[in-house]
Structure 1
Amino acid sequence: MKIAALFPGQGSHAVGMGADIAAAFPVAGAAYAEAESTLPGLRALIESGPLDDLTLTANQQPALVAASVAAYRAWHAHTGLTPMVAAGHSLGEYSALVAAGVLSLADALRLTRQRGELMQRAVPVGVGAMSAVMGDPAAIEEVCAAQPGVVQPANFNAPTQTVISGEKTAVDAAAAELKARGLKVIPLKVSAPFHCALMQPAADGLKPALDAATYGGYAFPVVANVTAEISDDPVHTPELLHRQITGSVRWVETIRTLAGLGVDTFVEFGPGAVLTGLVKRILPDARTVNVGTAEQIEQFQMENA
């Protein structure tokens, strides 16, 4: 198998995520213990909630990293398999870098806690907005570029699903024009307008911590969100993570890059199946597997022994 490891971003969280994996596999339990020692209270929040607190951006980001890395480490230890390449959706890029040995889990947890806090503070509540748009991404880019305020594609999630982000007035104006052109627009319930120019204060605030972090060599390459190209030189990693905060998540291109490398199996590590669904929309014939529970790890081992 030529495996691509995929790691989810915000929105995939759930109370209790990965608890059964942590109980069944010592290496996953060790990851949760490290998360707790790095950010006290995080493990209890992951395992017991409440959901409202877990959903807060500053909690959700490190919590998802912990759960995704624990799932990956348990799968890796149990199956003895190593992916040929990895990618993560937005926040998930940090999980991918931990899996590849570039970032330590502790550093990734600290960075994503700070990232979440900075992103939440970057834009006053009510000023920003995000909407999902179904239709031609070229038309979406054209309409966004024509608006006087800040609005831009934040996530190219699937061939006909793009999320736009920016100032609420500009997002609403773009949405009205897109609807007039026959495209479907769905406003999203989000805490901040992610992946747009309004996040520049967060990017600037996180840059010193990104620059100061320790980056190891890549055990396998990671496809970066902002370039949709392979990254395998740690010298460039902090810059890519910095640009990611205000840049678009080029997920469609990312999955096509992975397929172009010869990947034949896409494995999503962590809770939910958001990325699995997106892969199927990009590559309908792709083989996809979810690894978010102890049972799924055992099933993967049995089916691929």
Structure 2
Amino acid sequence: MIAALFPGQGSQEVGMGKALYQGSRAAREALERAEATLPGLLGLLWEGPEDALKLTANQQPALLAVGYAAYQAYREAGGKEPTYAAGHSLGEWTAHVAAGTLALEDALRLVRKRGEYMQEAVPVGQGAMAAILKVPLEVILEEIAGIEGVELANLNSPEQTVISGKAEGVHRAVELLKARRARAVLLPVSAPFHSSLMRPARERLAHDLQHVPFSSPKFPVYSNVTAHPETDPSRIKTLLLEQITHSVRWVEILQSLKAHGVAKFLEFGSGRVLTGLVGRTLEGVEANSLTTPAEIAEALALGA
């Protein structure tokens, strides 16, 4: 069985998607649809500047467009339809476009708004995020239990967890966890994503989602909120909203995919972040990153 994976923020780089555009008709059509929906997107992808591409409102539609284009190039080249799909944070939206739950154009407009709302939810400097490594989740939970406004944001691998929330609380948690021999690194982000502080963004996006049609996906897509495969369109819409304020349960998602029989994980879009997390979380599975036609051809030659 195959699982299609789609990355979230942090996987972007100037130039991403250009090889797909030049080497795949299906990818080119997907990226041209993205450009028609959000004019200027392709120029941002290929020319930057990097600081502009990093902006949340730009980064989210950029990653969605490139992830979907990579998936379309893979299918055009003869790649098998996945049994399941999953995406990390923003990547969950890309997974639903690939599965046909959402039209590409609707998803691009929605994630542009999602990025704007998330950026505007908390004034710059009032929120923070930090990656905690080399200590078990139990230690992290123990140290943040008494700190107001600090929550789990991303459970990425058994030894990598991200915390999010009020800046002063996150800084305090970092110091406490360093004393417990954790490696704790403040992340260069502009807002405390996946925390209850994002509630204003969730409420604003709910209005935009009201009249957007959702269809039953062609294959189940895992929810970051439940860590279960979801197929009901109305439930998917609700969970995509809840995702803004809830933890990304990536470890559980990967473990569930393996338990359901998935042996091959294919990451579509830009970078190798999710491929690396598969390797650090699961044993006895294969993971490949597909960002160019050459990588797609190589994976297909190996039976992907």
TM-score (structure 2 length as normaliser): 0.97
List per-residue Cα deviations over 1:102-152 (Å, max 9, x = no partner): 0111111011100000011111111111111121112212322211x2110
CA distance in 1, matches of 2:86, 2:210: 21
- Deviation, structure 1 residue 11: 0.5
Look up the equivalent residue of 2:249 and give its one-letter code.
R
- Deviation, structure 1 residue 80: 4.1
* 1:180 and 2:156 correspond: no
Q: Which residue of 2 aligns with 1:71?
A: 70
C-alpha contact (below 8 Å) 1:28/1:71 kept by paired residues: yes
CA distance in 2, matches of 1:301, 1:152: 41
- Deviation, structure 1 residue 211: 2.8
C-alpha contact (below 8 Å) 1:156/1:249 kept by paired residues: yes
CA distance in 2, matches of 1:251, 1:258: 11
CA distance in 2, matches of 1:71, 1:50: 22
CA distance in 1, matches of 2:139, 2:213: 41
C-alpha contact (below 8 Å) 1:38/1:106 kept by paired residues: yes
Residue 110 of structure 1: SS of its match in structure 2?
helix
Q: Which residue of 2 aligns with 1:230?
A: 229
- Deviation, structure 1 residue 181: 2.3
Q: Which residue of 2 aligns with 1:246?
A: 245
Query: What residue ranges of structure 2 are gaps of 5+ in the alignment?
Result: none
Residue 156 of structure 2: SS of its match in structure 1?
strand
Q: Which residue of 2 aligns with 1:41?
A: 40
C-alpha contact (below 8 Å) 2:7/2:273 kept by paired residues: yes
Query: How do residues 101-120 of structure 1 correspond to structure 2 at under 5 angstroms?
Result: 101-120=100-119
Look up the equivalent residue of 1:155 and give its one-letter code.
N
Residue 34 of structure 1: SS of its match in structure 2?
helix
Q: Which residue of 2 aligns with 1:203?
A: 202
CA distance in 1, matches of 2:242, 2:213: 18
Residue 155 of structure 1: SS of its match in structure 2?
strand
C-alpha contact (below 8 Å) 2:79/2:300 kept by paired residues: no
- Deviation, structure 1 residue 187: 1.1
Q: Which moved more, 1:137-146 or 1:289-298?
A: 137-146
CA distance in 1, matches of 2:105, 2:142: 41
Q: Which moved more, 1:173-182 or 1:154-163?
A: 173-182
Q: Which residue of 2 aligns with 1:3?
A: 2
List per-residue Cα deviations over 1:185-220 (Å, max 9, x = no partner): 111111111100111111111111123211111100
Residue 79 of structure 1: SS of its match in structure 2?
coil
Residue 129 of structure 2: SS of its match in structure 1?
strand
Q: Which residue of 1 aligns with 2:271?
A: 272
Query: What residue ranges of structure 1 are gaps of 5+ in the alignment?
Result: none
Among the aligned pairs, what percent are the same residue? 50
CA distance in 2, matches of 1:144, 1:207: 30
CA distance in 2, matches of 1:285, 1:113: 38
Query: How do residues 58-207 of structure 1 correspond to structure 2 at under 5 angstroms?
Result: 58-134=57-133, 135-147=135-147, 149-207=148-206
CA distance in 1, matches of 2:182, 2:232: 40
Q: Which moved more, 1:174-183 or 1:68-77?
A: 174-183
C-alpha contact (below 8 Å) 1:211/1:238 kept by paired residues: no
Look up the equivalent residue of 2:10 and give its one-letter code.
G
List per-residue Cα deviations over 1:253-279 (Å, max 9, x = no partner): 000011111001000001100000001
- Deviation, structure 1 residue 297: 1.2
C-alpha contact (below 8 Å) 2:101/2:214 kept by paired residues: yes
Look up the equivalent residue of 1:139 and give its one-letter code.
V
List per-residue Cα deviations over 1:217-247 (Å, max 9, x = no partner): 1100011001101101111011101110010
Aligned length: 303
Residue 10 of structure 1: SS of its match in structure 2?
coil
CA distance in 2, matches of 1:47, 1:90: 23
Residue 233 of structure 2: SS of its match in structure 1?
coil
Q: Which contiguous aligned blocks of 4+ residues in structure 1 show a shift greater than 3 angstroms?
A: none
